[in-house]
A and B are shown apart, each in its own frame.
Chain A
Amino acid sequence: MRTRNRWMGVVAISLVLSLAAAACGGRDDDDTSSGGTGGTAGDGSEAAFSIDTDNCSSYNPTQGVTDNTIKIGSSFPQSGLFSAFAKISVGYAAYFDYINDQGGVNGRQIELITKNDEYLPDRTKQNVNELVQSDGVFALFNVVGTPNNLAIRDDLGDQCIPDIYTATGSQLWGETEAYPWVIGSIPTYPTEAAIFADWLKANKPTAKVAILSQNDDFGQGYVEGLKAAIDGTEISIVNEQTYNPDDPDVKSQITTLSSTDADTALLATTGAKCFQALNAVREANWSPTIYISGTCTSSTIVGLAQPGANDGVLSSIYLMDPADPQWDSNAAMQEFQTLGAQHGIAGEDLQNGIVGYGWTMGALFVETLKRAGDITRQSVMETAYTWDALEVGLLLPGITINTSGADDPFPIEQMQIGQYNGQFWELQGDIVSFEGETSDYIGG
């Protein structure tokens, strides 16, 4: 029976909690956790950062958490032109299965509920409503898509529910003051554009660039990032075209771009558009230097381009590519291959970088739970903001996870240029670090 009294109860609880949080002050150190593959937690640091739960409309710190389970939810495209992203969940579902087999996190099994949103933000919103109200999940994990997360961050922020480790590199997830309950995972798109600009400055200082970008904040991140990064150099942008996510293909945009005198192309595309764009470039009999979004690096995306269309394409790499033989004897990669196979990852998926990303995210989330101590929404989120040199999953050796509250809300900020050879991504040059500086690159 729903009456006004229920509101009084909720208000009372939130008051008590916020008083408790205030009284407890900073967080305690936790022992560094063992178990989990290839992950070493940094030394526990005090939380210099705490999230206010006073302004929540209805803060429920342990919804979805029981003595033996933690229920989390995710929403991502499982059908349509962006369905390749569904492979990410194969990675983390396997990791959770592995952890559950070991007894779970501190005795709690991780229960995962996923829903299909077909990359449509209104569906994401609906799914999240259901996940929160009907399934009662503790947190939203690794939701795919910049527009999709934008559609849900208001409501989740209002209810103080974590939208943790979103599967998008928009710099908007750095708006920690306004949206502390959203934290990203991968390097931001403007920093990707910056690393490409650096490569151009070193290898093609007078490049003429043509840009194809998705008509939303995802694409805009690259466009504005590149423009800022090439300011004052001899690199110029000669033409820009956009497309909408639901366009069937991008042939006419590429036709226009290919007829300019551009010798370089930035493809700020994702999903099926990645290989459609590559195909169109080849069919237009055009051979520019191509940089493609880091969201395309999966073998089930870039690998679907026509033979020859993806040769020599550049992108940003921050995870070990399972198809790259140089990592065959790496301990973390071996764990991924063996444990992954034992826990439900099929043969060809074990060679797919996007599954590796999912595995890494699963490991990161489990570490977060382990380090959070008492599992509450607040403690888990705060843990996500206090990483110090964490190695986890399949991160490239030398890349670690570092966050620091509102000053550095971006988990992964280091990457390296990679060049596709038709099989895997060959790493070029050195690891470039934007540690702590991501916000300088076109703040959201």
Chain B
Amino acid sequence: MTDRRRFAVKAIVVVVVGAVLLYLPQQLASFEVGNLNKVICFAIAALGLNLLTGYNGQISIGHGAFFGIGAYTSVILVADHGWPHFATIAAAAAIAFVVGVLIGLPALRIEGLYLALVTLALATVFPQLISRFSDLTGGSQGKNVRLPDRFTAPDWTGLENDQWKYYVFLAFAAVAFLLVRNLVHSRAGRAIISIRDNETAAETLGVHSAAYKVATFGVSAMIAGIAGALYSFETSFVSAGEFTINLSITFLVAVVVGGAATIIGPAVGAFLVVYIPIWLDDAGADPQLSPVLFGASLILLMMAAPGGILGLYRRLVGWGSRRMKKGAPPPTQSTPDALASVT
């Protein structure tokens, strides 16, 4: 296929998918749109995590905490201080970025495996912090955003609330994915990826790995924080029990299942991670049995297709070699060797 032909195909696919996405909320019931909204928020969070873990090789099992920071920032500002909703997204992004950098700095000294554990620690401590400061956060009982303060559709749009949220979230997601894609294909992106593949070599080639690693941590956390703020618009409720390690694991699974180090992998992964439990439930599967199947399929997936769904797709389409020739960053089949330092 010629380049122009391939571009045309791509363009058509994008347009069709885009049209379907825009049309969906008109057709689906309100709580189904709510599910899609959850997928979009998770997709954005997974995008952020993918930047750090997939492209930069720093495994994080703590992104649930950044997501939670964003969600709580937004709810507290809206419910207690009457902030306008979009402004809270900016605040959530800023705070998450700062925390991300604060974690990223000591992370420089801690290699791969231990870093994963430190992020796990962060994910564990977060709900405890929520409980500790329950006056501010509502603790395990949670904090509700009262009806008048909720994120509702403005009258001029003629939309219902869930549809409005859908389009807003979709807009944020589109922008986020586009920006990350551009980042990855830029010089900075190549530097980030080179640090993952061989940090020492990258250093000798003049890449300031420390600066990049910390910055990537911050940006990755910021993206997750934004996703969290958006999610709080969807649920209008936060409580400690939502932001546990399970959430961080969910994000990591979404990244890997979709395909680490790919752009749309996180979106695919987020969709599956949200919908597979729903499908299993609707199919009447014993609620105890569905996590067994889910866990088992994760294991099988890693054996058969460690590059995730997208990796599988690319292998099938023979994408790899062609992209290699074009000199773009190779889609990695195997995943970051973050533990290379361990002998």
Contact = CB atoms under 8 A, between A and B. Distances in A.
B242 interface: yes
A158 B147 contact: yes
B140 A134 contact: no
A1 B139 contact: no
Interface stretch (A143-151, A258-266, A286-294): A143-151
Contacts of B158: 4
A149 to B, nearest CB: 11
A2 B240 CA distance: 35
B140 A150 contact: no
B287 A121 contact: no
B175 to A, nearest CB: 27
A244 B142 contact: no
B131 A151 contact: no
B127 A246 contact: yes
Interface residues of A, number: 27
B297 interface: no
Contact of A146 (B30, B141, B240, B287): B141
A29 interface: no
Interface in A351-401: none
Contacts of B147: 154, 158
A1 B34 contact: no
Contact of A121 (B26, B31, B34, B141): B141
Contacts of B141: 121, 146-147, 150, 216-217
Contacts of A78: 287
Interface stretch (A34-42, A125-133, A203-211, A319-327): A125-133
B12 to A, nearest CB: 27
Interface string A234-260: 000000000011100000000000000
A125 B237 contact: yes
A264 to B, nearest CB: 26
Nearest to A215: B139
B294 to A, nearest CB: 16
Given A1-B26, A147-B142, A216-B140, A122 B160 contact: no
Contacts of B237: 121-122, 125, 151
Nearest to A119: B241
B144 A154 contact: yes
Contacts of B240: 244, 246
Interface in B223-263: 235, 237-242, 244
B81 interface: no
A125 B31 CA distance: 12
B8 interface: no
B13 to A, nearest CB: 27
Contacts of A79: 288
A133 B29 contact: yes
B140 A151 contact: no
A246 B241 contact: yes
Contact of A122 (B29, B146, B235): B235
Contact of B134 (A4, A116, A151, A215): A215
Contacts of B31: 129-130, 133-134
B140 A215 contact: yes
Interface string A75-98: 000110000000000000000000
Contacts of B142: 121-122, 147, 150-151
Given A122-B239, A134-B29, A147-B239, A116 B127 contact: no
Contacts of A122: 142, 235, 237-239, 241-242
- 8 closest Cβ pairs, A-B complex: A147-B141, A216-B141, A133-B31, A120-B241, A122-B242, A244-B131, A121-B142, A129-B31
Interface of B: 26-27, 29-31, 34, 127, 131, 134, 139-142, 144, 146-147, 158, 160, 235, 237-242, 244, 287-288
27 contacts: A2-B160, A4-B158, A120-B239, A120-B241, A120-B242, A121-B141, A121-B241, A122-B242, A133-B31, A134-B31, A147-B140, A147-B142, A150-B141, A151-B144, A151-B237, A151-B239, A154-B144, A154-B146, A158-B147, A215-B134, A216-B140, A244-B139, A244-B140, A244-B240, A246-B140, A246-B240, A246-B241
